[in-house]
Amino acid sequence: GENVEQHPSTLSVQEGDSAVIKCTYSDSASNYFPWYKQELGKRPQLIIDIRSNVGEKKDQRIAVTLNKTAKHFSLHITETQPEDSAVYFCAALIGGFKTIFGAGTRLFVKA
Amino acid sequence: GAVVSQHPSWVICKSGTSVKIECRSLDFQATTMFWYRQFPKQSLMLMATSNEGSKATYEQGVEKDKFLINHASLTLSTLTVTSAHPEDSSFYICSAREGAGANVLTFGAGSRLTVL
C-alpha cells in the first residue's frame, strides 16, 4: 500500500547541534521526495526535495539523503537554531501523481 | 513563485449546516488540486484529488457525499462539507502544482473549521 513512515515523532536538540529525521516509503516506483516545514497555524512550506536519480542534496544547513534500495530518506539539519523549531514532514510522490506525507516530527531547538 | 489562495481562513458553523471552502491558484492554472485534512498535531491526510472538468477522486475512507468537491475552472476548486458535525472540525488545506510536469506542491493557507 501507499505508506510513508517517519521517525522520530518528537526531537529535542540543543542549539548548534544537528538534527536528523528519517523516513521510509513503500512504493518502490516513487521518484520524488520533498520535505516540508510547518510552523504553528501556518501552511507547510517546501524546504528541500530530492529526486530518485540523486543520492544526496544540500542547501546550506539542510541536506537530504536517499537510499533507493532500502527505500529510506533522511533530513539533516546542522547548526540548529531556535527558528528551526517547527514540525517537519517528509513525503513521497506516489504513482507520479499524489503526495503522501509522513506523520511529522516536532523539532524543538533549545537555546 | 506559485501562489495558492484559500478562503475562509477560519469558519465556525452550527451542526447540520454546510460550509464551502475555496481554493484558487492565483498566477497559474491548475488542472488538478489536492485537498488535505489535518487534525491537531497530526499529519496531512490526503482526502481527494480535484480534477478540472471531471469528478474528484476520493481516497479510501473519505465520504464523497459528505465532502463535495467541485473544480469548475482551471483556477478554482471548492470543498463543501455537507451537514457538518463536530467530528468534522479540522484544518482543511488545499494544494496545487504549477505546471503539468511539476512535482512541488504549493499549499493554501488552510481553513480551520469548527462545528458547534
Q: Residues A54-79: pLDDT tens digits? A: 899 999 999 999 999 999 999 999 99
pLDDT above 70: residue B100: no
Query: For B46, which of A89, A100, A102 is closest by C-beta distance?
Result: A100
Residue B76 contacts A, CB cutoff 8 Å? no
Backbone angles phi, psi at A68, to 5 degrees: -70, -35
pLDDT on residue B102: 76
For residue B104, the model assigns a pLDDT of 87
For chain A, the average pLDDT equals: 94
Is residue A72 within 8 A of residue A23, CB to CB? The reply is yes
- The pLDDT confidence band at residue B72, using thresholds 50, 70 and 90, is confident
Q: What are the tens digits of pLDDT across the range A8-18? A: 999 999 999 99
Q: Chain A: residue nearest B91 by CA?
A: A41
Per-residue pLDDT, B24:
96
Burial zone of A26 (CB within 10 Å; 0-12 exposed, 13-18 middle, 19+ buried): middle
- The residues in A 46-75 lying below 8 A from B, measured between CB atoms, are 46, 49, 51
